Chain A
């Protein structure tokens, strides 16, 4: 039983660390993808084009390409705050569904703003990008999706319980926030763990609870299953009711009413250059409608675009209610808080910092766990094999997993562009490095393993800008003068991460290796504590 408790507790810790590392990266997943596709041009050059001209080109192309569509959308070229990237002139559509289905196939094309002809997608290397990295935090990898969801759910629930009970039992929560006693072994680890946990407590409560809400009817299906049923059709029916969605559409077609007055009315309400796209849809039994959608702002409900709705036949303005029902909106706000899609630059960095604090909280907790038990172990040299394994897994996860993430970026630059299954191999490199760090930590003096893998991670991150310089033309020397902050920001963040790991390496080395008696061979003891 104790064995079970020990191992489940620890496995949760390691998995949560993995989820926090990959999830935190997700707050910049568009930026990471951009960096991992260096073939894309530095600054998109778009000739200024007339808006109504563009929309008319888009409509012509949509009529030819998607004559039987549930909706059409023409996206005007703009600087997108949602992705922090340039958005090209693009058309999107969804085909009418086959009988018995809710949705048809979706499509999109980037169009030439002058001719309206579809542009070939620029050839970019095959990469999983930031998307794959951030998806790992709830889909894991190499694993059945449903099994991954359940494992992630159990870890999340246990973390949620740990936080709530931590708050309840922690009587001196405020005082401990200001308490840090360095250089005192276990006491210092505990202080560090407390300070970090309290600092970002609201974030941890929000992120765990909202993480559960994403999969609400997967984890607690009782209500839906008993009242609607649990087969696919019943679930679809439930979600349609919840989101007040109607799937019965007529094929989208060119509006009879002129679009220019609609655009003018939007301009009048929002100011110039605020129109993001024109959306056309015809629900069966209702008048066909045109939506003029505004560029995403920092509103919390980012899926609920600010928009102007018009009758496509008459051009009359129509009322536009918010998307979904009150409860579904509540649910969407909870999940929006998790994803932080509404966050502007500063809030986004705050999310990122809170995520890193989460990594630090779990890491200090794992280390504290071993330090505490180390005290009760007998003399050095009689390490139980369990303890040795746990310490090795701690090194491999806390220092080795970040090394793997750095390796993911190295693989993106170094793997030959034409190998088969390239995107998968980038991910394989991440897990291979993680695994190798574990094997290394198993056979190496654990203190040396800590120092060496921390330094290796520091070098792996810090050298990425150099690697970028040697392998692409999108390096700091090019991105900084061009003001491409997405690319430059990535390289600079890698330098920052390299510095952080170097600092940890120096700290650990100073404590353990500097005082070593030069005449004596290194002890094989694995204590993280320095006898003061």
Chain B
């Protein structure tokens, strides 16, 4: 049991968990956030609906890339998670409110 604990708490293990957490934040968290932003753009861009979706989906790859790069450039891991969480929490209700038939 102690050896198992050591394995997960040793310095190198802690480092690996930090890397894992950051990769997850960047790629999974980043995907969720960029999807939310592109959905928000799809609903707000002053274009016909299908065109707004296509335009924001094309922008989505750039958003996703920028978010991933941002997640790797911030020193504190907790800032990364917090940033992703807060931005997503701001976008989600807006999306829900703007969705056709939503908000009611």
Contact = CB atoms under 8 A, between A and B. Distances in A.
A1 interface: yes
Interface string A218-234: 01101110111000000
A160 B58 contact: no
A161 interface: yes
B49 A157 contact: no
A164 B57 contact: no
A5 B27 CA distance: 14
Contacts of B49: 227, 241
Given A220-B34, A222-B36, A241-B48, A330 B55 contact: yes
B58 A226 contact: no
Contacts of B95: 226
A216 to B, nearest CB: 5
Contacts of B69: 161, 164-165, 168
B4 to A, nearest CB: 17
B8 interface: no
A209 B47 contact: no
B100 interface: yes
A226 B38 CA distance: 11
Most buried by B among A223, A325, A328: A223
A242 interface: yes
Interface string A398-427: 000000000000000000000000000000
Contacts of B68: 161
Interface in A173-229: 209, 212-213, 216-217, 219-220, 222-224, 226-228
Given A216-B58, A327-B54, A223 B48 contact: no
Interface residues of B, number: 34
Contacts of A143: none
B61 A331 contact: no
A238 B65 contact: no
Given A1-B16, A157-B65, A220 B57 contact: yes
Binding site secondary structure of chain B: helix
B54 A1 contact: no
B38 A223 contact: yes
Nearest to B31: A220
A224 B53 contact: yes
Interface string B62-80: 1011001100100000000
Nearest to B61: A212
A161 B70 CA distance: 11
A334 interface: yes
A44 interface: no
A157 B64 contact: yes
A2 interface: yes
B18 to A, nearest CB: 10
Given A160-B61, A220-B35, A223-B39, A242 B55 contact: no
A236 to B, nearest CB: 12
A326 interface: yes
B49 to A, nearest CB: 7
B50 interface: yes
Given A223-B38, A226-B99, A227-B100, A328 B54 contact: yes
A31 to B, nearest CB: 31
Contacts of A216: 54, 57-58, 60-61
Interface string B11-49: 000001001100000000000001110110111000111
A238 B16 contact: no
Contacts of B65: 157, 160-161, 164
Most buried by A among B50, B51, B64: B50
Contact of A331 (B34, B48, B54, B72): B54
Given A226-B99, A238-B53, A330-B55, A157 B61 contact: yes
Contacts of A325: 48, 50-51
Most buried by B among A165, A219, A226: A226
Nearest to A226: B39
A212 B63 CA distance: 13
Contact of A1 (B20, B34, B47): B20
Contacts of A220: 34-35, 38, 57, 60-61, 64
A2 B50 CA distance: 43
A224 B19 CA distance: 33
Nearest to B51: A327
Interface of B: 16, 19-20, 34-36, 38-39, 41-43, 47-58, 60-62, 64-65, 68-69, 72, 95, 99-100
8 contacts: A2-B16, A164-B69, A220-B61, A223-B53, A227-B42, A239-B50, A241-B49, A334-B58
Given A227-B39, A242-B51, 9 more contacts: A164-B69, A165-B72, A209-B61, A216-B61, A223-B60, A224-B57, A238-B50, A325-B50, A327-B55
